Amino acid sequence: MKGGLLGAMRAVFLRELLVFWRRSTEVMSSLVFFVMVTTLFPLAVGPERRELALIAPGVLWVAALLATTLSLNHLFASDYQDGSLEQMLMSPYPLSALVLAKVAAHWVLTGLPLALLSPLLAIQLALPMKAVATLVISLVLGTPTLTLIGAVPAALTLGVRGGGVLVSLLVLPLYTPVLIFGAEAVAAAAGQGFASVAHLSLLGAFLALALTFAPWASAAALRVSLD
């Protein structure tokens, strides 16, 4: 049974990668949004490196948060339309485990590229090089937390008109602690007098909590939406 569950999760993960890859425009939209937002700030604020370095942690993290929120609409929508979610509900395996596999695949194609792309945008915003590694680590810890949290309202608003707006309204208050500690970790590493280890540890704790509770809550929300 254990091997069967892992095999089912692997099959869902690989299927999601294939489905998202075929819809590459949806995957790229969040990356393009991330690049556009961070690129526009230097044009608005000006070329002063000190000012750019001061706002860089917040700008990069807010842009990553909004890009993640933008991609949540595609997490369950296609499966809801083609009936795949009903098949997952009838599966002998726990729905929460299958949801976790879906969320992992979604993050690999949306959140992970944001983290890998962030060093280039950090240089554009004059972020000190000593803080770039912390930026990447904070995004690697924070973006999966954002995706896991966002999966719950994304599942709950399936089939609801204007569901994308509702998802944004529901997740933004929940995202606030992750945003604060993520940006503070980068700011601390940039040399504002605080150690970033504590902030990164809190991001890791948020991720552990999200991994524990978010798949179960998302599965419950999917059952409510499909009833």
**What pLDDT sits at residue 3?**
57
CA diameter of the chain: 60
Owner of token pair 């929508």: 77
Tens of pLDDT, residue by residue, the chain (227 residues): 445 888 888 988 988 888 777 777 767 888 899 999 998 888 888 778 888 888 999 999 999 999 998 888 778 877 777 777 788 888 888 889 999 999 999 899 889 999 999 999 998 898 988 899 999 999 999 999 999 999 998 888 876 765 667 787 888 889 999 999 999 999 998 876 567 889 999 999 999 999 999 999 999 988 887 77
Owner of token pair 């690697």: 140
* Residue among 190, 158, 168 nearest 57 (CA): 190
**What pLDDT sits at residue 73?**
79
pTM for this prediction: 0.90
2 token code pair: 């254990």
**What pLDDT sits at residue 100?**
93
Distance CA 133, CA 136 (A): 5
172 token code pair: 């933004």
Q: Where are the alpha helices (DSSP H) in the chain?
A: 2-22, 24-45, 49-71, 77-82, 84-89, 95-109, 111-124, 132-156, 163-189, 197-226
DSSP label at residue 76: S
* Residue among 211, 185, 175 nearest 70 (CA): 175
Phi-psi region of 16 (alpha: psi -120 to 50; beta: other; left: phi over 0): alpha
**What pLDDT sits at residue 193?**
53
**What pLDDT sits at residue 77?**
76
Distance CA 2, CA 20 (A): 27
Q: What is the CA radius of gyration of the chain?
A: 18
**What pLDDT sits at residue 179?**
95
Distance CA 57, CA 38 (A): 11
User: Which tens digits make up the pLDDT trace of 198-219?
Assistant: 999 999 999 999 999 999 999 9
DSSP label at residue 162: T
